[in-house]
Amino acid sequence: MTARRDWLIEQMRQLLVEKLEVRVPVTEIHARTPLFQGGLGLNSFAVVDLISQLEQRFQFQFREADFREEHFRDLQSLADLLESYHPAGLMALKEATA
């Protein structure tokens, strides 16, 4: 994994715990931990909350066509999707928050 990918996943782990109040210790949230059943157990409402938080934190907007469960399976798949939006912008954000 790239440094940017690691950073993105770490940002999302923090977001899940701090903003969405996921009741799972941050140390137990990994890149491949399912967001839905069998993992964090997010419900549909929480996923939209996650979408809203991601858009605010990373300053972008999801395309409608990307609201697909396979993109929201886990943090790894979400990081893949986020990187497809504006990797340069994400890198700049990473540097700004370093």
Partner 1 sequence: MTALRLWIQDLCASSTWICRKFREQQMRERVAGPPFVHLSRPQSSQLFLVYSGMDAYYSGQQICSMGLLKFLQVSGLGSRNLTWIRDPFFNNYAGGFGPDVPDLASLENWHRQHLASLPHVREIYTIGYSSGAYGALLFGHLLGANKVWAFSPRTADWETDAEAKAALRARFQQGNGVTRYDVWHAHRNRLDRQFADTIRDCAGVTVHSHPKYGATHFLLDRMILSGEFQSLLPGESPVTAALSPSLAGG
Residues that bind partner 1 (CB under 8 A): 20-21, 43-49, 51-52, 55-56, 59-65, 67-69, 72, 89
Cα–Cα distance measured from residue 22 to residue 3, given in angstroms and rounded to the nearest whole number: 25
Least distance in Å: CB of 48 to partner 1? 5
Least distance in Å: CB of 72 to partner 1? 6
> CB-wise, 32 or 41, nearer to partner 1?
41
Q: How many CA atoms lie within 13 A of 92 on its CB side?
A: 6
